[in-house]
Amino acid sequence: MHEHQDHIRRLKIAEGHLRGIQRMLEEDAYCMDVIQQINAVKASLNKINTSILDQHMKSCLTTAVRGDDADERERVLAEIVHLFEAVNKN
C-alpha cells in the first residue's frame, strides 16, 4: 500500500508539471524549454512505470510462477510478453 501512495504522489506531481507545460504553451514559452519539461514528465512517468512493473513482478508474477495453476502462469507470462511488445512498438 505504501508504494501505491508514493505512485499517486508522484503522479500528482507529474500532473502539476503537465499543467505547467500547458501554461508555458499558452504563454508562448521558448520551444526548447517546453520540450525539456515534456522530457522531464516522460522520465518521471517512466520511473513510476518501472516501479509498478517491479512490484508486479515481485508479487503477481512470482505468485503465478510458483503456483499450481498452469493457466494462470501462462496468462501472467503472456501479459509480460505483451507489455514488452507494446513498449518495443514505440
- In the chain, the N- to C-terminal Cα span, in Å, equals 31
The kind and range of the H/E element at 59 are none
Contact 33, 20 (CB under 8 A): no
Single-letter residue type at 57: M
Q: What is the pLDDT of residue 71?
A: 92
Asked if the model's pLDDT at residue 72 lies above 80, the reply is yes
- Give the start-to-end residue ranges of the domains of the chain: 2-89
CATH of domain 2-89: 1.20.58.1000
Residues belonging to the chain: 90
Which grid coordinates belong to 21? 507545460
pLDDT tens per residue across span 6-61: 999 999 999 999 999 999 999 999 999 999 999 999 999 999 999 999 999 899 88
